Chains A and B, each alone.
Chain A
Amino acid sequence: MQTILSSETGARSQNVLPEKRSITLTINGLVHKLELAPWTTLLDALREYLQLTGTKKGCDHGQCGACTVLVDGKRINSCLTLAVMKEGSEITTIEGLANENGLHPLQTAFIEHDAYQCGYCTPGQICSAIGMINEGHAKTLQDIRELMSGNICRCGAYSNIVDALQEVMKIDSNETV
């Protein structure tokens, strides 16, 4: 007779799914308790279980950057990490950037500079830009282009994205690169 296995038992030889686990995620300052299978990515947890659909699924392989979120202030690809691995971390998504004073300065700058067309990559671009600013290594427009290369924009709004970042970062616009 087959018995239900606990999550502590290997799954390969059994036709029984490992149990879902109770996990606690802190997202945009709110604590969420979820029952998730171990193979749920952080991206799928956000979109499918928490209805935080601002974070986008582009390639689902870490190649496009649409799923970029901040974990403890650092930008990562949420498609290439498991939700269960991020218990105890502070996660920030695009939904967590605006506050009672209005939009985040980067959100305002993206609107003013028309830094998107379809908008699908925009949440990832903005979260990535916040991560880049936190890292503190971008000093020039060339640095911005290099350090934002993990975010693809298929509409090709790159020049306006760089303009928006340049304004928020107060980088000299006379630089010719």
Chain B
Amino acid sequence: MNNFSYSRPEDLNSALGELTKREGAKFIAGGTNLLDLMKENIERPSHLIDINHLGLNTIEATADGGLRLGALVTNADTAYHENVVTHYPLLSQAILAGASAQLRNMATNGGNLFQRTRCYYFYDLATPCNKREPGSGCGALRGYNRIHAILGTSDQNSETACIATHPSDMCVALAALEAVVRVTGPAGERIIPFADFHRLPGNEPWRDNTINPGELVTAIDLPPKGFSTNFAYIKLRDRTSYAFALVSVAVALEIENNRILDARVALGGVAHKPWRKPEVEATLIGQPVSEANFQAVAEALIDGAKGYGHNTFKIELAKRAIVRALQQAAKLEPTA
């Protein structure tokens, strides 16, 4: 780890002021990802601003009937919170599918959004990586890419190529639930719909999200609709616990008399951000619950997917996982 100085502000404005004032400063909350990256010399902040004493550590009902998750509530406290378990079980299950109990006790909701990719080449300073070192190339494209993306990748230009995935489970559920991220910064407070928070690599693979310099996430708002009756989170990985997803699927359905009234499908482990196609989800609305309909949706969601060798299996795996998750959410017995 590089040397750095440290401060522990007690209020939000001081924390934001310090970030603006100090070049190379970073916020630290749970530290589970940042300190790991610092030990690898991937992150080298000159100063750490410990934000653990700013408040932002409560879960509260909102006026519209939703739920506000404070940015500094731990992942564990969120997953086991009575209101989350009862009204947003998809979120609870997704969080508990990720990391270990120790890490969930440390990691915060705000920090989860800022997790960096676990691409081996991003972590290995001896190899090129456009995310870590813009313009240096992509080691994964023609390298070992079992864990890498199949959708929304950037692979046309070596100086911007990136096939990294976003590693979070929690964010896949937040995408399906259409959460809203609240941020505050020098320009005041703003809200970012979850679908716009993370981004695809495009021509700037070094940018993971759309937050502006100097901004801080203060909360994540869940809309009133929690899909607590028909939901599923399926995570497929190389071992059954404590591993990142090869493919994960969050499904949220609203069903009445065997007709689908609302449908959300979000995928993890396949792209630079949680993957959704609302126009494909819309084709399910008004349709009966049926395996054929679910298979059609799986095909359409994965349409355009591209494998890079070691990860090509993800294309078929993702389709089957989508069908299985939709069946599970609809309480339809799988046929295979």
Contact = CB atoms under 8 A, between A and B. Distances in A.
A132 B242 CA distance: 16
A131 B103 CA distance: 12
A61 interface: yes
A80 B106 contact: yes
Interface string B1-15: 111111110000000
B77 to A, nearest CB: 9
A85 B241 contact: no
A17 interface: yes
A174 B255 CA distance: 39
Interface residues of B, number: 36
Contact of A84 (B6, B102, B103): B6
Contacts of A39: 1-4, 38
Contact of B5 (A9, A60, A131): A9
Contacts, number: 111
Interface string A1-44: 00000011111110001100100000000000000011101000
A160 interface: no
Contacts of A48: none
Nearest to B40: A61
Interface string B250-276: 000000000000000000000000000
- Counting from the closest, the 5 A-B pairs by CB-CB distance are A150-B100, A12-B46, A38-B6, A149-B241, A18-B5
27 contacts: A7-B5, A8-B7, A10-B5, A11-B2, A13-B23, A13-B46, A18-B3, A37-B3, A38-B4, A38-B6, A38-B48, A39-B2, A39-B4, A61-B39, A62-B36, A62-B100, A65-B102, A77-B103, A80-B103, A82-B31, A82-B48, A84-B50, A85-B50, A131-B105, A135-B80, A137-B80, A149-B100
Given A81-B106, A147-B101, 20 more contacts: A8-B7, A10-B23, A11-B5, A11-B46, A12-B24, A18-B3, A21-B6, A38-B4, A39-B2, A60-B39, A62-B102, A75-B105, A76-B102, A77-B32, A82-B31, A84-B6, A85-B28, A150-B100, A150-B101, A151-B100
